[in-house]
Structure 1
């Protein structure tokens, strides 16, 4: 009679790439190209076909949506601690023909703290964004720089009462200038279709910005021009 209480051997966690027809290196190249450069899904499809990889733009879209959150989550463990001065602001994007707000924050070193897509620009959205950013990074800023939007004072007094809230003309130029890089990346796309896919792309752009600015302990041994590719290779082994 078999011992029903015998403990089964622990199995290694299944790779996120299990069940995909293409190998991980092909998928990672496609995702990296899309997030790094001003390319559409069809552009990435064409680049892959030129290299002998027969796929289509819908498959590239699925890869980006599937693996971008996994890569961002794996990268958290290699991320440098953010600075204590946060520049917080909102920009806007159109999703399926409707304007949405994108809450973004960067620190004094240019690290993108977090991003959040919201249907509204109000105190509830600002509270949700800041609470999520602090919970994810386990960091509380000592100074927060915003524009003169009326919802911030009460939200900051509630969440970070010890922080200095700085509101001054041109004080928030750092994050406003950073918005332009996101807008530049979104321009070649043929529109964002859903809030979920838009959040994924915007978060993926933030990940890529931080990788290019060397805010992760990833790809550090690679030559300068190969650091982002090396970082993606390292992250692929973690997922």
Structure 2
């Protein structure tokens, strides 16, 4: 094994496989291959495109994630990998992949992606099972691109919980919308004002509450997302616990925005927003 001296110059294009930090420096070579060291977590690694400690090829993991978020149970994903790819993987390993990469990819998208939206956002929520009880899952959709700009899993429709869906959308898009369409619930007014109130006209966001027949427009915009989510949850018979549920729902959001083609626009929401 040959090793050269470390360099103190950070490499902005290389990211740590363990903590995703960009505080990475060259740390010698092993058999002619460059080794890097992370100043944040002190791990050493190769920049070879493979995630840390990966024993299975990455295309197998990608296939497993796609199958899972397309609606298969973990057991059925396991069977598909064995039958179609000849890969025998334990079901617990597949579940760990789902949790790990849902977290990593969701974090990456939130930090690095800046979706271009129409600024017309539609909010709605649906009730799902978590730990045997009913909880609310809020979703915010951009009208034109169908991009899911925000999501939140919460127990009740309180002002505090409602604020979190607005804050989620702000965090993901890094912008203020022009108008937000909601249903007639009274919880929206105070939550909206706490997040978006501005005395300056240029920064004002309009809140449009729709009830009765008018509410169908907002429901139709979000309907596809609700249907996709319910299809995913059906083989799971609900979500097991809140922490794991939030991670899996983060993965579902990434899959919806960046992987699955939307039936209406015939492309992914990410592709649609990129072409604006």
Which residues of structure 2 form unaligned runs of 5+?
1-5, 10-24, 27-35, 39-44, 198-203, 262-266
The CA deviation at 1:74 is 2.8
Deviation (angstroms), 1:79: 5.0
Instruction: Report 1:51-62 matches (<5 A).
Output: 51-62=85-96
Match of 2:236, SS state, is coil
SS of aligned partner of 2:235:
coil
Aligned to 2:248: 201
Q: Go from structure 1 to structure 2 and tell me whether the alpha carbon gap of 1:59 and 1:199 turns closer, same or farther (over 3 Å shift).
A: same
Quote the offset at 1:205 in angstroms.
1.7
Secondary structure of the equivalent of 1:64?
helix
CA–CA distance in structure 2, aligned partners of residues 120 and 17 of structure 1? 38
Matched, 1:180 2:215: no
For the residue of structure 2 that corresponds to 1:148, the secondary structure is: coil
TM-score relative to the length of structure 1: 0.80
Shift in alpha-carbon separation, 1:143–1:133, aligned structure 2, 3 A = same
Q: Which of 125, 128, 136 is matched with 2:164 structurally?
A: 128
1:94 equivalent in alignment to 2:136? no
The answer on whether the counterparts of 2:151 and 2:168 sit within 8 Å (CA) in structure 1 is: no
Tell me the SS of whatever aligns to 1:165: strand
- How far the C-alpha of 1:178 sits from its partner, in A, is 2.9
Check conservation: 2:121, 2:142, Cα contact below 8 A. yes
- SS of structure 2 residue aligned to 1:33: helix
Structure 2 counterpart of 1:39 = 72
Summarize the alignment of residues 43-192 of structure 1 with structure 2, pairs less than 5 Å apart.
43-50=76-83, 51-76=85-110, 77-78=112-113, 80-109=115-144, 110-161=146-197, 162-168=204-210, 169=212, 170=215, 171-173=217-219, 174-192=221-239
Cα distance in 2 for partners of 1:39, 1:113 equals 25
Gaps of 5+ in 1: 1-5, 221-239
The structure, 1 or 2, with the larger RCO (C-alpha pairs under 8 Å, 6+ apart) is 1
The aligned residue for residue 236 of structure 1 is none
Residue of structure 2 equivalent to 1:229: none
Q: Which moved more, 1:193-202 or 1:69-78?
A: 69-78
Aligned to 2:19: none
Residues 180 and 215 (structure 1), Cα distance of their counterparts in 2 relative to 1, 3 Å cut: closer
Contact between 1:146 and 1:166, CA under 8 Å: does it hold in 2? Answer: yes
Structure 2 residue matching 1:188: 3-state secondary structure: helix
Shift of 1:134: 0.5
1:172 partner SS: helix
Please report how far the alpha carbon of residue 145 of structure 1 lies from its aligned counterpart in structure 2 after TM superposition: 0.5
Partner of residue 17, structure 1: 51
Work out the CA distance in 1 between the residues paired with 2:209 and 2:270.
30
Contact 1:104 1:114 (8 Å CA) reproduced: yes
SS of the aligned residue for 1:74 comes to helix
| Structure 1 residue 158: Cα displacement | 2.4
Q: Could you say what the CA RMSD is over the residues aligned between the two structures, in angstroms?
A: 2.4
Question: Stretches of 4+ moved more than 4 A in 1?
Answer: 6-9, 13-16
Which has the greater radius of gyration? 2
Paired residue for 2:15?
none
Given that 1:79 and 1:216 are in contact with CA atoms closer than 8 Å, whether structure 2 keeps it comes out as no
